[in-house]
């Protein structure tokens, strides 16, 4: 059975949101999204990102399920947190400076969550 947090972005009972200063990253797939964007070192098309995520987890959600979850759940949440920029018309995604810093653990950038102290 699929973990619902992998598809719809809701933390499961097994996820401890306090492990990260960014609660949005308590959902594992969102950390994978940032890692993929940093590894790409530039913009990725949403469909490329969905393919990359599907390839990481052989028994996970299908590419279509990932694409839907990316579009309606994960990308908006990460964009709202200031961790990526998402051009819906061009369907491209790129990590922001803050997103790269969070993904790489770079302590020199301001990685305080929006609305945080």
Q: Is residue 7 pLDDT above 50, yes or no?
A: no
Question: In terms of residue numbers, what domain contains 60?
Answer: 22-104
The pTM is what? 0.73
Q: What percent of the chain has pLDDT over 90?
A: 40
Q: Is residue 4 part of a domain?
A: no
Which pLDDT score, from 0 to 100, does residue 66 have?
79
Lookup result for tokens 């947190």: 81
Q: How confident is residue 21, by pLDDT bands cut at 50, 70 and 90?
A: low
Q: Is residue 15 pLDDT above 60, yes or no?
A: no
Q: Is residue 7 part of a domain?
A: no
Q: Is residue 112 part of a domain?
A: no
Q: Is residue 8 part of a domain?
A: no
Q: Is residue 67 part of a domain?
A: yes
Q: Is residue 62 pLDDT above 60, yes or no?
A: yes
- Number of domains observed in the structure of the chain: 1
Q: What is the CATH number of the domain that holds 74?
A: 1.10.10
- Model pLDDT for residues 66-92, shown as the tens digit of each residue: 788 899 999 999 999 999 999 999 999
Which pLDDT score, from 0 to 100, does residue 74 have?
94
């Amino acid at each position: 059975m699929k973990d619902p947090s992998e598809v719809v972005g809701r933390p499961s009972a097994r996820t401890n949101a306090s492990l990260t200063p960014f609660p949005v990253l308590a959902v594992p797939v969102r950390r994978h999204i940032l890692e993929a964007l940093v590894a790409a070192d530039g913009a990725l098309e949403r469909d490329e990102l969905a393919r990359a995520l599907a390839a990481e987890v052989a028994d996970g959600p299908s590419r279509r399920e990932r694409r839907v979850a990316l579009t309606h759940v994960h990308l908006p949440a990460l964009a709202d947190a200031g961790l990526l920029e998402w051009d819906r018309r061009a369907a491209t995604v790129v990590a922001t400076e803050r997103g790269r810093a969070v993904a790489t653990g770079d302590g020199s950038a301001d990685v305080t969550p929006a609305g945080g102290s």
